[in-house]
Every structure is written in structure tokens, then in C-alpha cells.
């Protein structure tokens, strides 16, 4: 009897194993066959482990994507169910700028955070389009070009502080480090009207910078296999466990509690006040957990991208004396030096400096802030994107590494830092219609008209313009930014 029971157990386990193996094989073959006509690495067609390894290798995935486009053409398969496009005609379809909206892929669940068992709202991770529309309705006007101008005093304050610190340290400075401190203090003032003392203390106060970087690294690691992140970090036990709050969450909670003690709603002009006032108008969306999440997102995404955008532009300029001198002349045309020094030109003036804008865009073309693919899912019924028929459920995205180094778009000198290319758009180039709309400081192709996106990119111009007015600095440690 015991032998029979043992035999039955072994038999059941064997059957279960065979079923599992058969399921995995059938699924793999089905996915492979669905996209068999899309060129790409053979390993990528069979397993997402290929993408996991590529995204966590020493070579930034952005540069590897460029090589994929050069080898396989304007459409590349980079996973069993993943397709990238280097054809700019695919942008409106994928990111919903002119037609129906494609849902975000599951890897947007990775940045989701929880507080007391409840999900905290993040615009990056939000996949509910109706809720995203309600969220944007209250925030849109603030993130437009004119809306950003209202935060100019906050930016001026930290720019002047940064210039003062750099003057004090002398001709040699770790500029990347100073820019990181500056970025966090700037975003903190825009978010809740007071900096966190990063520049004053010359350190990562409270570990907020490190916490933000860990969140980005976590997203990058699990990007190819988001289901594993769900099992390990989004299960019921983890969501409801009493774990210590992260440094970013502690910062957000402290800012909210401090605001309640200092006058509450309407007492300050910053993003936290915007979130709190939005809660008065739409409490169903702007819950207390949502306000925490938006404050966290503001600090993490805002500071990290601000620091990287500024640092890469500074590196590009300090490495190209001709461009630096030309930009200096443009800035001095609106902010001439005086015997007593110089004054910060207003953003309304800086936004008219076309060469400054071109410098920022050109640095982001070569070293974009965003290293991952902003993935979307083809709706049921399938779709034709850039002439390619794709079945429903296919994950799609834009290969900016291929686009930004396409000689047919940017000319034969695609590896050169030459901002003038943004001012030379003509009928003979692929971007002659809207050259300023092809690349944004975020590093992704233009999706500013998408219902999910908030407008406004003026802050980068003021940061770069004000930091360059003054003196040259010797570069130290910037390559590690």
C-alpha cells in the first residue's frame, strides 16, 4: 500500500512536471511564431532573460539599442513579445498623440510603492487612464510653459546659492556632485518651498539621493521580468508588513506634516500646495496616500533627471570650447557683465535663447536621461504600426538610441556634439516640420501631446543658462555622474 502511494505521488509529480514543461514550450513557440517576421537577436526571440542580462550589463542599454537599430533596421525584436521602432512615424500610434491610447506595460508596476498596505499614487506607475486624466486635469496648467514660470523665485534662490558655493571652492570642483546636491535642493524648494540643505551640508541629507537611485536601479533590474518583482515585493505580506519607510517616503511624510503645522492649504506657492488643493476638488483621486506618492515622485524623478540633464549638458559644453564660447556670447547678449557682477536673467528671457535650447537637446540626444524603453501594449485586435502588423498584446516602444543616431534624421556627423543641427532644419531633413518637438529633455521622443503627459521643459534652460554665466571650471569626476 505504501509502495502504491509512493508510486502515485511520483506519477502525479511527473505528470505535473510534464504539463509545466509542455506549457512553457508551447507558450515560447507561440510567442516566437507570432513575431517571427520581426528581425532581432535569436536569444531575444525566445526568452526575456536576454533583455535582463543586456539591461544589467556594463554597456548602457541606450547604446546597445543603437547597435540593434544599425544591425536590424527600423524595427527590432528585443524580447519574445517585445518590438522596438526606430521609425519616428510610430510615435503617434504607440504613445497616443493622435489616436487611441495604448495601455502601459506591466513593468510600470515596478515603481509602485505602498504605505500602510495602500498603494501610493505615482504618475509614472499609474495605468488607469481615467484616473490619469483626472490627475492631469488638476495639474496640467501648472506644468505648462507659463505655469513653470511661477516657480522661478525658487530656482533663482538655488542657482545663486550654487554659484556662491562654486566661487568659494575655486577653479577645481567635482561638478557632478555639486549638480546633484543642487538638483535636490531645487526640486525640494519647488515641491515644498524649502531646500533640504544638500549644498549647505555638501552631502546626501537623510539618504534621499541614495534612496532615489536605488529605486531607479530596482526598476532597471526587474524591467524585463516585472512578474518576479510582483512576487517578491508586491505580495500581500510585503505590502502589509511594518517595514521602515524609505528615505524618500520619510522626506515626503515630513514635508506634509510640516506643512500642516505651518499654515496648511494656501500658505505656500509650491507643488505640495497644488496637490493639497487638488484633494479639495477631487478627494477620490487625491487621497492622503496619493499626496505622499506624488511628493515622492516629485523628489525622485524630478531631482534625478534634473541632475543628469544638467550634468550631461555641462560635460558636453566644457568638452567643446567652440560651443561653450558661442553659448556664452548668446547668454551675455541678455545678461551682460557689470562691474558689480551679473544678475540672473528671467526665464522669460532665457526661453528665447534658441542656441541654449539646442545645446540642452543635443546633449540629451547623445546622453539621454532615460535608459529604459517606455513600453506600451498593443490593444486586442492588433494594430499596424509603421507598416508592421502586430497582434494584440504585443509590447511596443520607441528605440531612441536608433532614432537619435540616425544619419537620415541628424546628418552624417551623428556622433558629434553639434547643437547647430537643431537650428538647421530644412525641407531635406526628416525633422524639418517640428525640429524642436523631436527630442525633449526627458530623453524620450516627443509624447507631450499624449493624454498621459504633463507639459513644461523650461526649467532646464534656466538652470543651464545661469550656471554658465560666470567663469570656466575645471572638470573633475563628471564622467561618474
pLDDT in tens, 372-421: 899 999 999 899 999 999 999 999 999 999 999 999 889 899 999 999 99
CB of 417 closer than 8 Å to CB of 67? no
pLDDT at position 305, please?
86
Residue 239 belongs to a domain: yes
Category of 254 on φ-ψ map: left (φ > 0), alpha (ψ -120 to 50) or beta: alpha
Domain at 220, CATH number:
1.10.630.10
d(CA 112, CA 44): 27
d(CA 320, CA 222): 37
Residue 395 belongs to a domain: no
pLDDT at position 242, please?
76
**CA-based torsion, 443, 446, 448, 451: positive or negative:** negative
Domain span at 109: 96-384+410-434+443-480
Report in angstroms the alpha-carbon separations of 62 from 54, 298, 404, 429. Answer: 10, 24, 10, 23
Residue 351 belongs to a domain: yes
d(CA 148, CA 347): 9
Q: What is the mean pLDDT of the chain?
A: 81
Residue 84 belongs to a domain: no
| Number of independent structural domains in the chain | 1
Residue 311 belongs to a domain: yes
Which of 10-24, 34-48, 99-113, 263-277 has maximum average pLDDT? 34-48
Q: What DSSP designation does 224 have?
A: T
Number of H helices, E strands in the chain: 22, 11
H/E stretch holding 233 reads: helix 226-233
Residue 47 belongs to a domain: no
Residue 462 belongs to a domain: yes
Residue 394 belongs to a domain: no
Residue that wins the pLDDT comparison between 452 and 183: 183
Amino acid at each position: 500500500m505504501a509502495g502504491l502511494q509512493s508510486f502515485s505521488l511520483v506519477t502525479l509529480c511527473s505528470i505535473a512536471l510534464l504539463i509545466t514543461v509542455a506549457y512553457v514550450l508551447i507558450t515560447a513557440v507561440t510567442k516566437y511564431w507570432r513575431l517571427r517576421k520581426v528581425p532581432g537577436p535569436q536569444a531575444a526571440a525566445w526568452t526575456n532573460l536576454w533583455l535582463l542580462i543586456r539591461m544589467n550589463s556594463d554597456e548602457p542599454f541606450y547604446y546597445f539599442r543603437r547597435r540593434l537599430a544599425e544591425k536590424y533596421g527600423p524595427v527590432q525584436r528585443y524580447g519574445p513579445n517585445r518590438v522596438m521602432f526606430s521609425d519616428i512615424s510610430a510615435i503617434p500610434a504607440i504613445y497616443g498623440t493622435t489616436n487611441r491610447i495604448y495601455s502601459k506595460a506591466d513593468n510600470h508596476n515596478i515603481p509602485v510603492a505602498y504605505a500602510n498596505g495602500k498603494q501610493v499614487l505615482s504618475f509614472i506607475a499609474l495605468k488607469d487612464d481615467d484616473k490619469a486624466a483626472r490627475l492631469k486635469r488638476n495639474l496640467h496648467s501648472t506644468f505648462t510653459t507659463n505655469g513653470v514660470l511661477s516657480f522661478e523665485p525658487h530656482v533663482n534662490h538655488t542657482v545663486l546659492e550654487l554659484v556662491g558655493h562654486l566661487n568659494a571652492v575655486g577653479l577645481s570642483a567635482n561638478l557632478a556632485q555639486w549638480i546633484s546636491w543642487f538638483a535636490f535642493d531645487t526640486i525640494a524648494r519647488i515641491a515644498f518651498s524649502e531646500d533640504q540643505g544638500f549644498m549647505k551640508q555638501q552631502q546626501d541629507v537623510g539618504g534621499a539621493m541614495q534612496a532615489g537611485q536605488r529605486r531607479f536601479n530596482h526598476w532597471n533590474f526587474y524591467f524585463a521580468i516585472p512578474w518576479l518583482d510582483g512576487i517578491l515585493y508586491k505580495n500581500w505580506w510585503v505590502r502589509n508588513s511594518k517595514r521602515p519607510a524609505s528615505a524618500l517616503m520619510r522626506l515626503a511624510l515630513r514635508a506634509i506634516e510640516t506643512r500642516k503645522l505651518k499654515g496648511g492649504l494656501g500658505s505656500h506657492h509650491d507643488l505640495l500646495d497644488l496637490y493639497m488643493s487638488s484633494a479639495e476638488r477631487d478627494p477620490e483621486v487625491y487621497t492622503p496616500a496619493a499626496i505622499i506618492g506624488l511628493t515622492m515622485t516629485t523628489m525622485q524623478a524630478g531631482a534625478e533627471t534634473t541632475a543628469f540633464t544638467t550634468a550631461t549638458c555641462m560635460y558636453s559644453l566644457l568638452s567643446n570650447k567652440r560651443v561653450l564660447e558661442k553659448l556664452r556670447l548668446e547668454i551675455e547678449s541678455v545678461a551682460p557683465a557689470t562691474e558689480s557682477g551679473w544678475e540672473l536673467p528671467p526665464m522669460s528671457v532665457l526661453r528665447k535663447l534658441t542656441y541654449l535650447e539646442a545645446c540642452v537637446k543635443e546633449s540629451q540626444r547623445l546622453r539621454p536621461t532615460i535608459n529604459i524603453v517606455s513600453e506600451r501594449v498593443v490593444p486586442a485586435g492588433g494594430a499596424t504600426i509603421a507598416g508592421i502588423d502586430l497582434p494584440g498584446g504585443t509590447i511596443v516602444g520607441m528605440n531612441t538610441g536608433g532614432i537619435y543616431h540616425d544619419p537620415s534624421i541628424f546628418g552624417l556627423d551623428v556622433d558629434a556634439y553639434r547643437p547647430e543641427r537643431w537650428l538647421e532644419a530644412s525641407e531635406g531633413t526628416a525633422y524639418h516640420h517640428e525640429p524642436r518637438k523631436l527630442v525633449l529633455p526627458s530623453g524620450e521622443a516627443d509624447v507631450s501631446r499624449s493624454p498621459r503627459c504633463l507639459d513644461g521643459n523650461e526649467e532646464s534652460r534656466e538652470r543651464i543658462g545661469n550656471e554658465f554665466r560666470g567663469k570656466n571650471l575645471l572638470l573633475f569626476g563628471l564622467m561618474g555622474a
